[in-house]
Structure 1
């Protein structure tokens, strides 16, 4: 009910108020700054500057004529899946790549099938295989042997074995008897 009363007062004599507001004289714009209002009031500096810009400068023109630039686009190298890298690219990288030691069985799920990796790097499958081998047989698969097998730095291998721990599950016991726990079946 209060909204109806408010609407009545708001709409009372609305048309007369609108006509009164429209018929008011509009406010004038603020005066412009003197330098921007008259283009000729800058004392001729603008014409002098444009004259200097459009004049020929002979020493600069001679230097510009002495410059010769010859550029060509490099050949685009895009090795696709299963294709070989061009000879110029493979010559420099041949010593820095190693063959793939381990890959996941089954379809590649749309991923590019790798045949080699740069030295000092691992694929996810190789990292998981190395970590699993070290966890199952730590005397056989020492950090030194893993570094040698996968062409890694010993420092990086030790850090990998210490800090990268995949699939480790911790089951915390309940603190009270009232807590519900999922039972394995």
Structure 2
């Protein structure tokens, strides 16, 4: 059914197409607006006598200007490279590692020291676990002093990072399966 509708639509659309196209092409075209004198191409303007004088004066050799140009001598230096010496890189203060895993964990190279103000992963877990077990003894102040950390960073560490904790929720019914703690 829809195929029939498409045929009829195509028939009306293509009806007398060539005559309609010829009629549209043969219509008189509208005339373009006159152009401004400043926007005319250089080839058209060169026919004017004033423009010809101007182009000649541009291409003529001007000896006084040429002698002045020859007397100019320019010497350039890179001011950044010559004046400012390279700053000597200061070595970071390092502290020995407090705790580490025994053996060669995960095939990584054993770390012996860390920069001050930083923690290794093992030290961070140890400090967080100590604070969790004994918060009165392991205060943020003591942790920051022990590991050479900034007090503000240590307080944020203690507040926002919690070591892994497993909680087993007892089942509501007695016949439900339960994971046994070993």
TM-score normalised to structure 1 length: 0.52
Provide the residue aligned with 1:135 in structure 2.
132
d(CA) in 1 for partners of 2:123, 2:16: 81
d(CA) in 2 for partners of 1:29, 1:100: 88
d(CA) in 1 for partners of 2:78, 2:8: 79
RMSD: 4.6
Structure 2 vs 1, CA of residues 119 and 4 (structure 1 numbering), >3 Å: closer, same or farther? same
Q: Give deviations 1:150-173, integer Å, cap 9, x for gaps.
A: 111223222321222243578899
Q: Give deviations 1:103-140, integer Å, cap 9, x for gaps.
A: 456215xx776543321122333222210121123344
d(CA) in 2 for partners of 1:169, 1:29: 87
In structure 2, the residue corresponding to 1:98 is in which secondary structure?
Answer: strand
Out of 113, 116, 123, the position equivalent to 1:116 is 113
Is 1:150 aligned to residue 170 of structure 2?
Answer: no
Provide the residue aligned with 2:18 in structure 1.
19
Is 1:93 aligned to residue 91 of structure 2?
Answer: yes
Displacement, 1:33? 5.6
Structure 2 vs 1, CA of residues 14 and 158 (structure 1 numbering), >3 Å: closer, same or farther? closer
CA contact 2:100–2:123 (8 Å) conserved in 1: yes
Consecutive unaligned residues of structure 1, counting only runs of 5 or more, are 73-87
d(CA) in 2 for partners of 1:103, 1:20: 92
d(CA) in 1 for partners of 2:17, 2:111: 76
In structure 1, the residue corresponding to 2:114 is in which secondary structure?
Answer: strand
Out of 68, 71, 79, the position equivalent to 2:77 is 68
Q: Give deviations 1:5-63, integer Å, cap 9, x for gaps.
A: 3202222165555534654429789669634442366x86x97xx99xxx8785xx54x
Provide the residue aligned with 2:8 in structure 1.
9
User: How many positions carry a matched residue from both structures?
Assistant: 147
In structure 2, the residue corresponding to 1:93 is in which secondary structure?
Answer: coil
Provide the residue aligned with 2:160 in structure 1.
163
Displacement, 1:93? 1.5
